[in-house]
Amino acid sequence: MSSSALIKLIEASTEAWTVESLEDLLMNPRTPSFRGVPRDEVTARIRALHKNLVAWLNGREDDAVRAAYEDWGRQRFTQQVPLSEIVYAIMMAKEHLQRRAREEGLAGELRETEGRIGEFFDRALYYLVRGYEMQAMSPPAR
């Protein structure tokens, strides 16, 4: 299964995709709480998503995905971002990838790697929710 053209697209489009995703996230009526999260933090998370996706498509284990998204979930709980908004943010990121790939003529390659891409986003969501719950269940700091 070749994903090299898709990986090259993700790497080459990271900045444009980050700007587009950030604008969408901050303006979307389904994600209003993200307006209260520091912009540079959200930008860094979007860039990290691209890096994690590329690593996943290159066949790495999910330890990096677990660590990144559990942390993201913990952070967003602390910032009082509703879980539904976080889940929607991940859904939007996947939609941005799919749209950009189709626009660049990579619909065939997108279909070819759809299972691996779906697995990445599914795991990201699982670990994000897990991190959010872990923070919610942890005893308050004294």
The structure tokens listed for 13 are: 């489009």
Residue 116, pLDDT above cutoff 50: yes
Mean pLDDT of 93-105: 87
φ/ψ of residue 59, rounded to 5: 95, 20
CATH fold for domain 4-137 = Globin-like (1.10.490)
Q: Where are the alpha helices (DSSP H) in the chain?
A: 4-27, 39-57, 63-78, 83-103, 107-112, 114-137
Residue 3, pLDDT above cutoff 70: no
Dihedral angle of Cα 16, 21, 23, 27, to the nearest 10 degrees: 160
Q: What is the pLDDT of residue 1?
A: 38
Provide the 10 A C-beta neighbour count for residue 79. Answer: 13
Check residues 4 and 87 and name the one with the higher pLDDT: 87
For residues 108 and 139, the answer to whether their CB atoms sit within 8 Å is: no
Residue 15, pLDDT above cutoff 60: yes
Q: What is the pLDDT of residue 115?
A: 86
- pLDDT tens profile 26-69: 999 999 999 999 999 999 999 999 899 999 988 877 888 999 99
> How far from 94 is each of 37, 44, 87, 134, 135, CA to CA, in Å?
21, 17, 11, 25, 25
Dihedral angle of Cα 140, 48, 33, 139, to the nearest 10 degrees: -10
Mean pLDDT of 6-11: 86
Q: Is the pTM of the predicted complex or chain greater than 0.85?
A: yes
Residue 33: strand, helix, or coil: helix
The structure tokens listed for 100 are: 């950009």
